[in-house]
Structures are given as structure tokens and as C-alpha cells.
Structure 1
Amino acid sequence: MAMVLEIPTTELADYEEQVTLDGLLYTLRFRFNPRCDAWFLDISDGDGAPIVMGRKLVVDFPFTAQHGHREGIVQGEIFVYDTSLRKIDPRFGELGERVLALYLERAEIETL
């Protein structure tokens, strides 16, 4: 069954986690940059090979769509959603609270 998955986040300013998306293992690195008051995301495959690096997390903007041609890229879509509906990008302490990191599975995208 296709669905939207919430990607777990923490209160740390720089951390990595392994997640399975559409059956494949990826390493996600979330980094907060205080100079620009923004979160950035790196995606690596299960072996640690970089796929997408240093992309800013922007509310309601598809993270991976423009990288669909890259080998190993996730087949679904990663995006961040502002639960307050104000469409404000996440600041430190807001990722996983006001703003959620979500993954829309490929099968769900195909039904849209």
C-alpha cells in the first residue's frame, strides 16, 4: 500500500540516519547552517556513495524531482511540510515539530 512516510528527525544540528525508502537503503544527513538560518540535506546510497549533496530544505518544494536522472536517486519524493500552513522554511528546533520531513512513495506519485 502506497503512503506518505514521516522521516524521523532529531534536535541535533548535524546528524545522519539510515532510512529505507521504496525498499532501498539510504543515508540522510541533515545539517543546520546558522549563517543562513536553514536546514540542508545530503542523500547517499546504502554504501555511502553521494547522490545529492547540500540541498536546502524548502517548504512545499520537491527535493528530488529535478534529480530524477541521477543513478540511485530515491524513486519517490522528499519534501518538507509546514504544519502551521504558513509556508515558512524550518529553522533550528522546528524540523520534526512545526515542519515535517516527508517521503511520498513512488506508487503514490503514480496514482496522482
Structure 2
Amino acid sequence: MSTITEIPLTPSLACRFTITLAGALYYMRLTYDIAQAGCWILDIGDADQTPLVAGIPLVSGVDLLAQYKYLGFGGALIVTTDRGAGEVPTFDSLGVTAHLYFVAA
């Protein structure tokens, strides 16, 4: 049975925080890239803030960590929106109508 954890986020605010996922502590940074991508971007580091992956655009309906399985995150990161799969959370919808979940393997 998979454990699903919502990662609490606040709309309209770039944020940095640490979170325990699948028994490991990670540093996450979310920023909104209005200049180039027009979407929220996720960076993940280890507990010491050493970068592991950077520049992951938050798009719904896919496992954001699928291409990083070799790093052993122990699960999937999934974005959902009220608009459905393939949608991109807007600047003010993240944490309101768009949510980020970690699904432990």
C-alpha cells in the first residue's frame, strides 16, 4: 500500500523548506519562472542543501521524479490541478487548486 503525503504550499510565494519523504530529509525550493517558462520550478537538494536535481517544471499528471529513479527518492512526486492532467499550476493556484503530492513506493 502506498502512502500519499501532500506537500503543503502557499500560493504566490516562492518558498524553501525541508521535508522528510520516504524516511530521508530533503531541501526543496519552489520559484515561479515568469521570464522563461511561465511556471513553477522545483529544485531538490539533500539535507545539507547540496543540489540533487534542479529546474523541474511543475506539470500535472506525470511523475516529476520518473527520470531520477537512480537517485533513490523512494516514490513519485505528482502535481494535480482542478483543470486535469497536463495543466500547469498558475502563480496563484499552487496550494489552492493545484497540489503537490509525494507517493511513497
Deviating beyond 6 angstroms after TM superposition, the runs of 4 or more aligned structure 1 residues are none
TM-score (norm 2): 0.89
Which has the larger strand fraction?
2
> Aligned in 2, Cα 1:86/1:76: closer, same or farther, shift over 3 Å?
closer
Matched with 2:5 is 5
**CA deviation after TM superposition for structure 1 residue 12, in Å:** 4.2
**CA deviation after TM superposition for structure 1 residue 76, in Å:** 0.5
Once residues 82 and 21 of structure 2 are traced to their aligned partners in structure 1, the CA distance between those partners, rounded to angstroms, is 22
RMSD over aligned Cα atoms: 1.6
Structure 2's unaligned 5+ residue stretches are: none
Give runs of aligned pairs for residues 73-92 of structure 1, distance below 5 A: 73-85=72-84, 87-92=86-91
Structure 1's unaligned 5+ residue stretches are: 107-112
Percent identity between the aligned chains?
Answer: 29
What amino acid sits opposite 1:58 in the alignment? V
Aligned length: 104
Once residues 73 and 30 of structure 2 are traced to their aligned partners in structure 1, the CA distance between those partners, rounded to angstroms, is 16
Structure with more relative contact order (C-alpha pairs < 8 Å, separation 6 or more): 2
